Amino acid sequence: MKRQNYILKIDNPCHQDWNSMYKISNGKFCSYCSKTVIDFTSLTDNKIIQIVDQKSDKICGRLNEVQLNRLIENKQLENRSILYKTLTGLFLLGTTINSFAKNNPFSKQSSRIEIVSVIDTKLNTSYQKKQKKEPVLDSLKNIIEGKVIDSKSKEPLPGVNILIKNSKTETITNLDGNFKLIIPDNLLTNKIHIIISYIGYENTETIIDKSELPKTKDLFIIKAQQALLGEVVVIKNKRWWQFWKSKKFKY
């Protein structure tokens, strides 16, 4: 059965403080009205549709402005259709190639040559990797620096906090938005997770490979989207035949 598409609205936004509410698994609990407020802000359209389909009673939720008053679509079925077409095309192509190979006297010989070539390439690559020695890094090389920039205005941002995830090692940007973060040896891993936080902006995480150090990189962050709380009005997206069926014309 094809999943229904929806348009979501909040006609009467609630002004209760989201941060003061008690956190639960799927959102927060509002003690003022004794209701569960579902947090939709980080969910995909497919997940939103799944929750709405399962709910038979009224929904109190928290949604970003970009999630409201637009079509919430089920993209999973569309992706399956594209995948089906792609696999069908590959199957037909494979059938044609197999048919040609059966009638081609050089096909077996070519296959052997290709296999030998692939094996030889893999052996050479493996040998080269063993021969290479990872350079020794010292504290002067364990540096990430750059500038933090507003993704929309392209303006540098001063006072932005840059932190190594799950640690207390951090720095802030100067008046020109520039920063320099020195990574201690005990926090040096193959993948270094950096958290960028700034008041009024979305927290952003970026990953730096140890092999790239020292690294100069500009970091872009976006302003936090305003979220609305309240009872969610769910409007079903009707198909054209449903529209004509329900509409009455007067002559």
Question: pLDDT band at residue 85, thresholds of 50, 70 and 90?
Answer: low
Positive/negative CA dihedral, 225, 228, 234, 235? negative
The region, left, alpha or beta by phi > 0 then psi within -120 to 50, assigned to residue 146 is: left
pLDDT of 163 above 90: yes
Convert the pLDDT of each residue in 21-41 to its tens digit: 888 888 899 988 888 999 898
Q: Is the pLDDT of residue 79 over 90?
A: no
The average confidence (pLDDT) of the chain is 76
User: What pLDDT is attached to residue 103?
Assistant: 58
Span 115-143, average pLDDT: 52
What pLDDT, on a 0 to 100 scale, did the predictor assign at position 57?
Answer: 86
Q: Is the pLDDT of residue 59 over 50?
A: yes
Output the six-digit token pair for 247.
């509409």
Q: Tens digits of per-residue pLDDT, 187-209? A: 888 899 999 999 888 888 999 99
Angle at 57 between CA 54 and CA 60, to 5 degrees: 95
In this prediction, residues 146-162 reach a mean pLDDT of: 93
Q: Which of 125-134, 147-156, 163-172 has the weakest average pLDDT?
A: 125-134
- DSSP strand pairing (219-221 vs 161-164): unpaired
Alpha helices in the chain (DSSP H): 45-54, 75-102, 107-131, 240-246
111: pLDDT strictly greater than 80: no
CA 56 to CA 234: how far, in whole Å?
A: 11
Nearest to 91 by CA among 79, 80, 99: 99
Contact at 8 Å (CB) between 28 and 17? no
Exposed e or buried b for every residue in 141-178, given b needs 16+ CB within 10 A? Answer: ebebebbbbbeeeeebbeebbbbbeeeeeebebeeebe
- What distance lies between CA 133 and its chain's CA centroid? 35
Alpha-carbon span 228 to 13, nearest angstrom: 6
Q: What is the pLDDT of residue 239?
A: 55
Q: At 99, is the pLDDT very low, low, confident or very high (cuts 50, 70, 90)?
A: low
Question: Once rounded to an integer, what is the mean pLDDT over residues 119-125?
Answer: 50
| Cα angle, residue 218 at apex, residues 215 and 222 outer, rounded to 5° | 140
Q: Name residue 25's amino acid.
A: S
Give the tokens for residue 159: 């006072």
208/205 Cα distance (integer angstroms): 10
Q: Show Cβ contacts of residue 69 under 8 Å, excluding neighbours closer than 6 positions.
A: 7, 8, 9
Other beta carbons less than 10 A from residue 196's beta carbon: 21
Instruction: Give the domains, in start order, of the chain with CATH numbers.
Output: 6-73+227-246 (no CATH), 75-131 (no CATH), 143-217 (2.60.40.1120)
